Amino acid sequence: MIRIHTALLVVCATALVACAGLAVPLLGSAEPASCRSCPVADPAALPSPAPLPKQAREPGVDHCLVGSWRTVEETVPVKFYADVDPFLFTTSGRYYEFRPDGTGIERNDDITFVGSHRGNETRLVADGWREFTWTGTADTLTFVAITNAALTWSYYDQRGLVSSQPEPLDPRRNEVKHYACAGTRLVETGDNGYRSTWDRTTDFGVYG
């Protein structure tokens, strides 16, 4: 039995040597070929990078209006009672963004408008936001449409909360105001005593 095992070991050892000899050329063929003779691109023949497209302003958009603004003083006529003509309220703090593509947003974070009727204080509270489209010339600003909104108007007088109404969408707003814009200050005026003074903020860049 011992002689048989010895013979088997000799045969196996011989087979391993033969396999090792076959493996050497296979390993050698896996080495990467030298790239010293690979073609090299001529830098002079490479095209230059394409220039970035210029940002275009939509027609009818005045660049001075573009940016972000916050009202610092406003006098606004409000139709408060159904059977009473609009009367004036004062407020401040409303936030606007006007974008060069003719879209924008107004934000009201519990902005309070204060008025008076027959000796009683009246208040209108705006909370939320509304998105709009707009155009502008050298001296007129048109709010073309209210395209999206999550804004609530709450009406208060001496009795407390009188009414609370959501802002409706208005695809045909076409509300025209006159304005004068210079640097960081804009003054907007309109019918029935409307006047609003805005200061530019740094929240949204100026388009030029």
**What are the residue boundaries of the structural domains of the chain, listed by start?**
67-201
User: What is the pLDDT at residue 183?
Assistant: 86
Quick one: 80 exposed, middle or buried, by C-beta within 10 A (0-12, 13-18, 19+)? buried
CA angle (179 as vertex; 62, 194 as ends), nearest 5? 145
Q: What is the arithmetic mean of pLDDT over 128-148? A: 97
Q: Are 115 and 152 in contact (CB under 8 A)?
A: no
Q: What is the arithmetic mean of pLDDT over 55-68? A: 70
Q: How far apart are CA 189 and CA 146, in angstroms?
A: 20
Question: 57 phi and psi, to 5 degrees?
Answer: -90, 140
First to last CA, the chain: 100
User: What is the pLDDT at residue 4?
Assistant: 40
Pick 7 or 46 by higher pLDDT.
46
User: What is the pLDDT at residue 44?
Assistant: 52
Q: What is the arithmetic mean of pLDDT over 97-107? A: 96
User: What is the pLDDT at residue 11?
Assistant: 35
User: What is the pLDDT at residue 59?
Assistant: 52
pLDDT at 100 over 90: yes
Q: What is the arithmetic mean of pLDDT over 92-105? A: 97
From residue 46, give the alpha-carbon distance in Å to each of 40, 41, 49, 100, 191.
12, 8, 9, 36, 62
From residue 154, give the alpha-carbon distance in Å to each of 33, 74, 163, 166, 186.
79, 18, 6, 9, 28
pLDDT at 177 over 50: yes
Q: How far apart are CA 113 and CA 76, in angstroms?
A: 8
User: What is the pLDDT at residue 204?
Assistant: 83
3-state secondary structure of 82: coil
If pLDDT is split at 50, 70 and 90, which confidence band does 174 have?
Answer: very high
The domain over range 67-201 is classified in CATH as 1.10.3470: no
Lowest mean pLDDT among 26-30, 97-101, 118-122, 195-199: 26-30
pLDDT at 195 over 90: yes
User: What is the pLDDT at residue 63?
Assistant: 84
User: What is the pLDDT at residue 158?
Assistant: 97
Query: pTM for the whole thing?
Result: 0.70
pLDDT at 24 over 70: no
Instruction: Compute the CA torsion angle 52, 57, 62, 68 (nearest 10 deg).
Output: -70
Pick 71 or 28 by higher pLDDT.
71
